[in-house]
A = this chain, B = another copy of it.
Amino acid sequence: MVRFSVSLDRELLEGFDRMRARRGYQCRSEAIRDLIRDKLVETDSQDPMQEVVGSLTLLYHHDTRGLKDTLTELQHHRHGLVLSTLHLHLDHDHCLEILVLRGSSAGVRELADSLSSLKGVLHGRLTVTSTGRRLA
């Protein structure tokens, strides 16, 4: 661990401390580290070649004809990108499927687009995070 010191106006520090308390941070360093990591993840994920981990949330109608087969097929076709899949039955009609993806930022986005655009998929949203490297 290394340290550096930050100088800032008292008023800004008070605002930071209030936000920190509301979000549950117990120490300033941890809150600052999270601000830095969040910015690094955001910046990294704009580079198409950067290796990222993504979680893709798909909401769909399980009884759409052919949908489950196509979902399975596309995942197998790009199986190198799919680490794991979690499936939940939300109610009689709706399924939630969460895919953990790992690969280049461009590859992950492309697979996410092709799954989200299938007929019967009501909502698809990709969250990009990091492989953990460089975030310490």
Question: Which residues of A line the B interface, CB within 8 A?
Answer: 1-13, 15-16, 19, 22-41, 43, 53, 55, 57, 59, 83-84, 86, 88, 90-91, 93-94, 96, 98, 100, 102, 113-114, 116-119, 121-125, 127, 129-132, 134-136
Q: Which residues of B contact A90 (CB under 8 A)?
A: 53, 102, 131-132
For the complex, give the distance between the alpha carbons of A10 and B2 in Å: 6
Structural contact, A57 and B7, CB atoms closer than 8 A: no
A-B complex: 7 closest residue pairs judged by Cβ atoms = A94-B132, A9-B136, A5-B5, A35-B35, A12-B136, A24-B117, A86-B86
Dominant SS at the A interface? mixed
Q: Which residues of B contact A127 (CB under 8 A)?
A: 55, 57, 125, 127
Structural contact, A129 and B59, CB atoms closer than 8 A: yes
Q: Which residues of B contact A5 (CB under 8 A)?
A: 3-6, 29
